[in-house]
Structure 1
Amino acid sequence: MQTSRARPYVLLSCAMSLDGYLDDATDERLVLSNSEDLDRVDAMRAGCDAILVGANTIRRDNPRLLVRAAERRERRAGDGLPPPAKVAILGHGDVDPGSRFFTEGDTEKIVYCATTTARHNRARLGGRAEVVDGGEPVDAAFVLEDLAARGVGRLLVEGGSTINTMFLTAGLVDELQLVIAPFFVGDGRAPRFVGDGRFPWHPGHRATVVDVRQMDDVVLLRYALSDRFEA
């Protein structure tokens, strides 16, 4: 695992069905979590310097990526902290500049895209976000190093399958918080938690479970994935 280079503490948060799906194959968003867990995620957002998603998440979910609870926003402001920055990895993809990622929230917005699409995305996104050439293809380690240089010490990754696979296969996640919903999706067309890849954790190198918690009808599994894990 890559634990020595300067980078933010990376916490990957995800909810999935019992059979490992992040969504179903319909156009309507599948609700996997519950109110208690959503409040927990909001608290995690409030404790991070930036929140990262991928292009597919912006397209499918149109997320705001903002801290919802007023008291948490006020606490950050009272501590002299800005709202968590919004970060997106587009790769070779494209997103609607009218998405809520860009239009909602008075916070810094940073987009990493592939070298061949950087000029296009700068023109398309205009002044709505800073567009950064992330390499060809986008290099997750470069993204983290660049965010660290911007003062991001703690990063929350709320990606879909592509982003999850990118960061996990690279060994760049320090902590995984995985919520399991009590039902099956059973549709191979739907997106899964991760795609194919070579992961640092396998039968010969098991991930370390540090917490198991029931929240009404969902279960939170917390794993330490690096020696930088914060208990």
Structure 2
Amino acid sequence: MSRPYVLLSAAVSVDGYLDDAAPDRLLLSNAADFDRVDAVRADSDAILVGAQTLRRDDPRLLVRGAERRAARLAAGKPEHPLKVTVTASGALDPGLRFWQHGDRKLVYTTDIGARRLGASLPDSAEVVSLGETVDFAALLDDLGARGVRRLMVEGGGRVHTEFLAAGLADELHLAIAPILVGDPAAPRFLRPAAFPGGSGRRMTLADVTRVGDIALLRYLTTNGTPP
């Protein structure tokens, strides 16, 4: 058994925000970048987002492109990747679009969260308790045992921080939009944390791509080999 290759994906403003503090989501990506993200999703075995992202953005987390879905089916894969979320509290609304689309969903939580969720979720969702706390290494071990070889993590900031601080991310795609937010109440890409190697550790810049008015930076954070 091996853990999945973990790819973090985020779109941020120039000053490092994932969104502003307004009720409606701030669209940082352009059409070409949304299509790029869809291609990365189609190449993944599973997509993970945190509970706060579900509450704020209510994403479906599906592969949008019909040709990409057909290619997955032709390769013997499910039409859409496995959808995964993480919640310590178990405070998730069963009416979210996350539950209503796609065939398979996994919820990683704590013992307390599992009791809170109970039988409130659809039959297509499986709740996995990781004990007293959410252990991201144990989460990856469980996904690896389920055959997940490539995991795409789409946020939010707390989840990205957890993966990077634990040294569990292999690759980072950072799409930088030409927007300034400047609101301390808005969510940032990363939170304060003790990252491996300290503040002087440098990641490997693997590629820089222009996607319309967005700069896409691709960093390698480990020596892991993509599947």
| Corresponding residue for residue 177 of structure 1 | 173
| Corresponding residue for residue 100 of structure 1 | 97
The number of residue pairs the alignment matches comes to 226
Q: CA RMSD in A?
A: 1.4
* 1:72 matches 2:62: no
- Residue range with higher mean Cα deviation, 129-138 or 188-197: 129-138
1:13 and 1:176 in contact (8 A); partners too: yes
The C-alpha deviation readout for 1:96-116, integer Å capped at 9, x for no partner, is: 1111100112x2100001111
The one-letter code matched in structure 2 to 1:100 is R
| Corresponding residue for residue 8 of structure 2 | 12
Structure 1 residue aligned with 2:107, among 111, 114, 118?
A: 111
Work out the CA distance in 2 between the residues paired with 1:38 and 1:102.
22
| Corresponding residue for residue 41 of structure 1 | 37
**What are the equivalent positions in structure 2 for 1:1-231 lying under 5 Å apart?**
6-82=2-78, 83-105=80-102, 107-200=103-196, 202-230=198-226
Shift of 1:125: 1.5
1:162 and 1:195 in contact (8 A); partners too: yes
Work out the CA distance in 1 between the residues paired with 2:22 and 2:88.
24
- Residue range with higher mean Cα deviation, 202-211 or 107-116: 202-211
The one-letter code matched in structure 1 to 2:212 is D
1:13 and 1:157 in contact (8 A); partners too: yes
Work out the CA distance in 2 between the residues paired with 1:202 and 1:220.
25
Consecutive aligned runs of 4 or more in structure 1 exceeding 4 Å deviation: none
Structure 1 length normalisation: TM-score? 0.94
Work out the CA distance in 2 between the residues paired with 1:103 and 1:201.
41
Work out the CA distance in 2 between the residues paired with 1:119 and 1:165.
26
Work out the CA distance in 1 between the residues paired with 2:188 and 2:57.
15
Work out the CA distance in 1 between the residues paired with 2:101 and 2:167.
32
Work out the CA distance in 1 between the residues paired with 2:23 and 2:100.
22
The one-letter code matched in structure 2 to 1:138 is V
The one-letter code matched in structure 2 to 1:33 is S
The one-letter code matched in structure 2 to 1:224 is L
What secondary structure is seen at the aligned counterpart in 2 of 1:48?
Answer: coil
Identity between Structure 1 and Structure 2 (%): 55
Work out the CA distance in 2 between the residues paired with 1:160 and 1:88.
11
The C-alpha deviation readout for 1:42-94, integer Å capped at 9, x for no partner, is: 00000000000000110011000000000000010011101200000011241
The one-letter code matched in structure 2 to 1:99 is L
1:7 and 1:153 in contact (8 A); partners too: yes
